Amino acid sequence: MGEIYKTDALIAEDITAYLDSHQHKTMLRFITCGSVDDGKSTLIGRLLYDSKMIFEDQLATLEADSKRMGTQGEAIDFALLVDGLAAEREQGITIDVAYRFFATEKRKFIVADTPGHEQYTRNMVTGASTADLAVILIDARKGVLTQTRRHSYLAHLLGIRHLVLAVNKMDLVGYDRAVFDQIVTAYRAFADSIGIAGFTPIPLSGLAGDNITSRSAAMPWYDGPVLLEHLERVELDQTADQGKPFRMPVQWVNRPNLDFRGFAGTITSGSICTGEDIRVLPSGKTTKIARIVALGGDLERAVAGQAVTLCFEDEIDCSRGQVITAAQSPVEVADQFEASIIWMDEDTLVPGRAYWLKLGAQTVSATVAQPKYQINVNTMEHLAAKTLDLNAIGVATITTDRDIPFAPYTDSRDLGGFILIDKMTNRTVGAGLIHFALRRAQNIHWQATDISRDHHAAMKNQKPMVLWLTGLSGSGKSTIANLVEKKLARMNRHTFLLDGDNVRHGLNKDLGFTDADRVENIRRVGEVAKLMADAGLIVITAFISPFRSEREMVRAMLQPGEFVEVFIDTPLEEAEARDVKGLYAKARAGQLRNFTGIDSPYEAPETPHIRIDTTMISAQEAAEMIVSKLIP
């Protein structure tokens, strides 16, 4: 075994040689998985300590903190070194993902330190997403536990190719080989069952320092690599990715003047040379690479992991979000996928709702269907699911509003991994891993019709539109909508009124009042309204439509300017006082669930086209006001 750390004497003697070797280090990112009791923080603390990433003043603080907390008696508590934020230091648990750094003579390491409890699945997924390797910690006294299976499953799901089974606290089981062998056998059976191809088991002790940097004298029976030796040798993803076909998502178009047009991005796989043929997706256009531009001189060749600027020989269209690929092996393009979804937000997934989906450099609008199943991360069982809660993992169909170039996640983390962003809060609410496309773009054709929507509208001599009335139950939507339609009819306008209650007796009679059903209700009504608008009609709708995102979804379905949002603004107290259908009384009595305004929220429009304050004007006046705004 080579030298893991240089001594101070060598650094002092020949700094130039030291710098030269440091300059040629590679970088490995890994994640440590385990719970508080597995000694994870202690292990990381030791790695930092041994590689001299702790300075004297930090050590002084650490010693003082160790004494104050008293967890390890008078000895240093390495865990205190890695537990960062004040709140969690007091609770004694690691809540978030923390990144630590240390280096040996051969490699620099970035460690993602994440908590192990099930309620922190999202944190572990985050840490695993960038890791080449996972260290799965096991307490030798406890063996393979539920959490071991969960951690291994998540690491495997996120595409980590190298797993280390670190059987920790060997000092507490008398360094007994039989204990170690038993754990490895049990783990192997589990690993095989979920498709983990291989793993490296290492018996060690973080506290005592066995088999971490140097071979343990207490375990002469172990002849495999010690932990750091293995971490220094394992093949990097960056190296493996170079063997795959060339792909680069375009991040930014560099156009400082009319003479230069470069496409900037990070190469996700393969390599590229000047003169090679490339293809831009989704357009499919091809050209050759003219230059690989860099400050300090052009490059001849660039490889996976490098951030570069490419120039083409021909002026073909290419913009942010598109993907440059090897001409002969392009990626697929599709707008519907099956994917694993990891939910990361307190607000549960709403199937059918539009979220932003960001994959590579492209951001598109996407909906997630009701999950096919949810996975119990402890037993790997498939469970039926209508939605996904925080930390839940499921498999579902994703539909995007346009074609996107992609690759299955198992081929490419960069082109197969995406995040979902809530359109209202802008929070990152989920992560997804594409399995495969369900509908390839080249198979979809819109049936072209000879009588266009403009023709339909022209025959009716009107501008089609959708008047979308939204407001609480009992606000007066249906009454006002009915009056508006009567007025328009008198003006010889061709109209149709879609009313919430009526639609629920037919088209939507299979839907209830959960958030997910409400979304689907509005989606269907939106699609129907769109068809009617295409037919040239003025559509009036009267639906509570409590969520901003669904009203936004309908707006996006229609032609620009066609969607007219009318807010029938009646305060809750007023609507409840009227209670025409007696529904509020039932809801208050607990006989009606998910009733808007009572136990389900109403998100008022922020900037409606028309706002009707029913406490100030009558239904007749409201109808007149709406019509006069539409047809001046």
Query: 246: buried, middle or exposed (CB in 10 Å: 19+, 13-18, 0-12)?
Result: buried
Omega before residue 546 within 30° of 0, cis:
no
Q: What SS3 state is found at 289?
A: strand
CA geometry: angle at 188 spanning 413 and 123, to 5°? 40
**Minimum CB distance to other proteins, residue 99 (Å):** 5
Find the catalytic residue in 193, 545, 549, 628.
545
Q: What are phi and psi of 68, to 5 degrees?
A: -65, -45
Q: Do 594 and 600 contact (CB within 8 A), yes or no?
A: yes
Q: What whole-number distance in Å separates Cα of residue 209 and Cα of residue 50?
A: 10
Q: Which residues share a beta bridge with 210? A: 205
Give the pair of three-digit tokens for residue 378. Answer: 């402890």
CA geometry: angle at 339 spanning 334 and 345, to 5°? 120
User: If you search the block for the tokens 């960001």, which residue do you land on?
Assistant: 358
**Minimum CB distance to other proteins, residue 121 (Å):** 11
**Minimum CB distance to other proteins, residue 404 (Å):** 13
Q: What SS3 state is found at 438?
A: strand
User: If you search the block for the tokens 């029913």, which residue do you land on?
Assistant: 614
Q: What are phi and psi of 382, to 5 degrees?
A: -95, 130
**Closer to other proteins by Cβ: residue 243 or 512:** 243
**Minimum CB distance to other proteins, residue 622 (Å):** 31
**Minimum CB distance to other proteins, residue 501 (Å):** 35
**Minimum CB distance to other proteins, residue 425 (Å):** 8
Q: What whole-number distance in Å separates Cα of residue 267 and Cα of residue 205?
A: 40
Q: Which helix (H) or strand (E) holds 65?
A: helix 56-69
**Closer to other proteins by Cβ: residue 10 or 186:** 10
Q: What whole-number distance in Å separates Cα of residue 293 and Cα of residue 391?
A: 43
Query: What is the pairing mode between strands 465-470 and 495-499?
Result: unpaired
Q: What whole-number distance in Å separates Cα of residue 430 and Cα of residue 342?
A: 6
Q: Choose among 37, 65, 254, 230: nearest CA to 138.
A: 37
CA geometry: angle at 153 spanning 346 and 412, to 5°? 85
Q: What is the full DSSP assignment across 356-397?
A: EEEETTEEEEEEEPSPSEEE-TTT--EE--SS--TT-EEEEE
**Minimum CB distance to other proteins, residue 468 (Å):** 24
**Closer to other proteins by Cβ: residue 97 or 339:** 97
Q: What SS3 state is found at 613?
A: strand
Q: Would you tell me the crossing angle of helices 177-193 and 146-157 to the nearest 10 degrees?
A: 50
Q: Choose among 187, 121, 189: nearest CA to 158.
A: 121
Q: What whole-number distance in Å separates Cα of residue 534 and Cα of residue 573?
A: 39
Q: What whole-number distance in Å separates Cα of residue 570 and Cα of residue 576?
A: 10
**Closer to other proteins by Cβ: residue 238 or 348:** 238
Q: What whole-number distance in Å separates Cα of residue 9 and Cα of residue 15?
A: 10
Q: Which amino acid is at 357?
A: L
**Closer to other proteins by Cβ: residue 62 or 202:** 62
**Closer to other proteins by Cβ: residue 220 or 243:** 243
**Minimum CB distance to other proteins, residue 302 (Å):** 9
**Minimum CB distance to other proteins, residue 467 (Å):** 28
Q: How many other CB atoms are there within 10 angstroms of residue 125's CB atom?
A: 22
Radius of gyration of the chain (CA): 31
Q: What whole-number distance in Å separates Cα of residue 475 and Cα of residue 479?
A: 9
**Closer to other proteins by Cβ: residue 303 or 592:** 303
**Closer to other proteins by Cβ: residue 131 or 542:** 131
**Closer to other proteins by Cβ: residue 92 or 243:** 243
**Closer to other proteins by Cβ: residue 11 or 585:** 11
Any catalytic annotation for residue 549? no
User: Which residues have C-beta within 8 Å of that of residue 30, sequence separation ≥ 6?
Assistant: 109, 110, 111, 112, 131, 132, 133, 134, 135, 231
Q: Which helix (H) or strand (E) holds 439?
A: strand 428-440
**Closer to other proteins by Cβ: residue 91 or 591:** 91
Q: Do 245 and 37 contact (CB within 8 A), yes or no?
A: no
**Closer to other proteins by Cβ: residue 345 or 569:** 345
As annotated, the active-site residues are: 545
